[in-house]
Amino acid sequence: MNEFFTGSAFFGVILSLAAYEIGLFLKKKLKHPLANPLLIAVALTIAVLVVSGIDYDVYYEGAKIIGWFLTPATVCLAIPLYEQVSLIKKYPRAILAGILTGVVTSVGSVLGLSVLFGLSHAEYVTFLPKSVTTAIGMGIAEQLGGYSAVTAAVIILSGILGNMLAEPFLKLLKVTEPVAKGLAIGTASHAIGTAKALEMGEVEGAVSALSIAVAGVLTVAASVVFALFY
């Protein structure tokens, strides 16, 4: 099976896109927060690889093409940010305070849980950058002596959970201000969460996109400092 698919440079892409299309279909049909297209795509892809016995490396050789679009897709987030720049200028202190609070809460919760469950230092620093983009988070974990591969998985999981639970959770807490919604989603669940923020509204998407960049920079500094605490 591995040899058969090794000859196809696009096997990974086809499998990934097909799984995601199935996820989109189920989302439209079920209309439930748990029916997240990305989560369904991940589960289906893993199931296909396990059942068929195809090595991950074989799958990744084709699927890595999708990763090339990550950078331009992230840059495109600057468009809604530019369109809402006048609104953002009205609340600079509130936005900075919100992002800073989110970053400190994120790394602080990791510190508390690491102490509670008795994690090693390497495991602790692995989880510190859980709420930033993969490129930043993996770099932080590697520099601090953590396991960057695990960090990548945790970051993706954080994004998926943010995408799934952000809207119902904000409704539960009766948060109605678009700027506050964007700050919470972007700071906690980076680009994957921002996709949900863009669905909620232009303001939410713009502020969430801004939060990704600012939270990334602040998390680098916060992780270095908090790494000394445990």
Domain locations along the chain: 2-68, 78-226
pTM of the model: 0.80
pLDDT of residue 8: 64
| Alpha-carbon distance values, 150 to 69, 125, 138, 181, 222 (Å) | 22, 11, 9, 28, 20
pLDDT tens figures, 2-60: 555 555 667 888 888 999 999 999 988 887 777 888 889 989 999 988 888 888 888 88
The band of 84, judged by pLDDT with boundaries at 50, 70 and 90, is confident
3-state helix, strand, coil in the chain (%, to 5): 80, 0, 20
pLDDT of residue 92: 87
Residues 6+ apart with CB under 8 A from 20: 37, 38, 40, 41
Output DSSP code: residue 132. Answer: S
Averaged pLDDT, 65-73? 76
pLDDT digits (tens, 9 = 90+) for 133-178: 888 898 899 999 999 889 988 998 899 899 888 988 999 999 999 9
Tell me, what's the pLDDT at 52? 84
Please tell me the predicted confidence (pLDDT) of residue 18: 92
What pLDDT does residue 7 have?
A: 57
pLDDT in tens, 179-216: 999 999 999 998 888 888 988 998 898 899 889 889 99
Average confidence score pLDDT of the chain: 87
Cα–Cα distance list, 121 to 93, 108, 183 (Å): 34, 15, 30
